[in-house]
Amino acid sequence: MNAPNDFPDGDRRPPRRVLVSGASSGIGAAIALAFAERGDRVAVHYFSGAGRAERVRDALPGTGHVAVGGDLADPAAIPALVGTTVDGLGGIDVLVNNAAVLTGAQPIDAMPYAEWAKVWTEVLAVNLLGAANLTHQVAARMLAQGTGGRIINVGSRGAFRGEPGHPAYGASKAGLHSLGQSLAVALAPHGIAVASVAPGFVETDRVADRLSGEQGAAIRAQSPFGRVADPAEIAAAVVYLASPEALWASGAVLDLNGASHLR
C-alpha cells in the first residue's frame, strides 16, 4: 500500500492546502475525502453544521485538517473565514466552491412575489455572490503566496438544461460557470487555473426525497446508464481539475451527468 503522496510512477507530490466550501456532507464531504486521500491537508467549511464538519474532518486520512465555519451569504464574514483557514493550514493552494443552497420549488405562475424575491436573494447570496467573494479573498492569498493555485467551481447541469421549478438555483449555477471562465482569463498570468464541473443528479441526502419512489425512477431514467452519480465520481473529477496535469483545462466546464443532457 502506498503512503500518502507515494504514486506508482515514483512521483512524490507535496501536499497542498485545500479549502472546500460546504464540506460537512454530500458532494463537499466526498471532495474533502478525495483530496485527503491524495495526501493533501483540507479545511472542511461549514455554515451551521459544526458537529458534522468536525466528524468529516476527523474521518479524513492524514493529519493537519481543520474545520472552519462561516456564513457565505455575509460578505463581512468571508475575510475571517479565509484568515482562519490560512492560520490552520498555513496557506491555500486549492479552493473548491461547492457550498450551495437549494430551496423548495419556485413556480413563477404560482408563487407570491414577496416569496419569489426572498428565495432569489437567499440563493444568489450563497451560490453566486458567496462564491465570488470567497474566491476574491482566496485569490488574494494565492497572489500573495506567489505559487499559483487552483480554483474549482461545482456548478450544475441545470445551468444549461434549465430548472423551471428552481430557476434561482439554475441561474446561480450559470453565473458560477461564467464567473469561473472570466477568472480563468484574469488569473492565468498569475499561474492560477480556474475550472468548473456541472453535475446532474447526485445521490446525496439533500435530494434523497426526490430520488425516492416513481419520481426517483424517472430521474434515474434521464441517464442511459439508468442511475444518478455517486458523490465520489464528482470528487474524482474535481481532484483531477485541481491537478498539475489539468492546467490546460482552465476555463473549462466539465459535464458530469451520465449523458442525461448533451450540449
- Give tens-digit pLDDT for 79-110: 999 999 999 999 999 999 999 999 989 999 99
pLDDT tens sequence across 165-213: 999 999 999 999 999 999 999 999 999 999 999 999 999 988 888 888 8
Mean pLDDT value across the chain: 94
pLDDT at 22 over 70: yes
Catalytic residue among 46, 113, 169, 240: 169
Element (H, E) at 153: strand 149-154
User: What is the predicted pLDDT for the residue at 117?
Assistant: 97
**Helix 167-187 crosses helix 131-145 at what angle (to 10 degrees)?**
20
Question: Could you give all domains of the chain from N- to C-terminal order, each with its CATH number?
Answer: 17-256 (3.40.50.720)
Sequence-separated (6 or more) residues with CB below 8 Å from residue 194: 150, 151, 152, 153, 180, 181, 183, 184, 187, 250, 251
List the single range of 57-61, 154-158, 211-215, 235-239 with lowest mean pLDDT. 211-215
Q: How far apart are CA 138 and CA 97, in angstroms?
A: 11
List the single range of 17-26, 64-73, 80-89, 209-218 with lowest mean pLDDT. 209-218
User: What is the predicted pLDDT for the residue at 208?
Assistant: 85
| Mean pLDDT across 28-48 | 98
Residue 258's region, left for phi above 0, alpha for psi from -120 to 50, else beta, is: left
Question: Known catalytic residue: 169?
Answer: yes
Sequence-separated (6 or more) residues with CB below 8 Å from residue 262: 255
pTM of the entire predicted model: 0.94
pLDDT at 164 over 80: yes
User: What is the predicted pLDDT for the residue at 9?
Assistant: 45
User: What is the predicted pLDDT for the residue at 12?
Assistant: 61
| Mean pLDDT across 38-58 | 97
Name the burial class of residue 145, with classes exposed (0-12), middle (13-18) and buried (19+) by CB atoms within 10 angstroms of its CB: middle
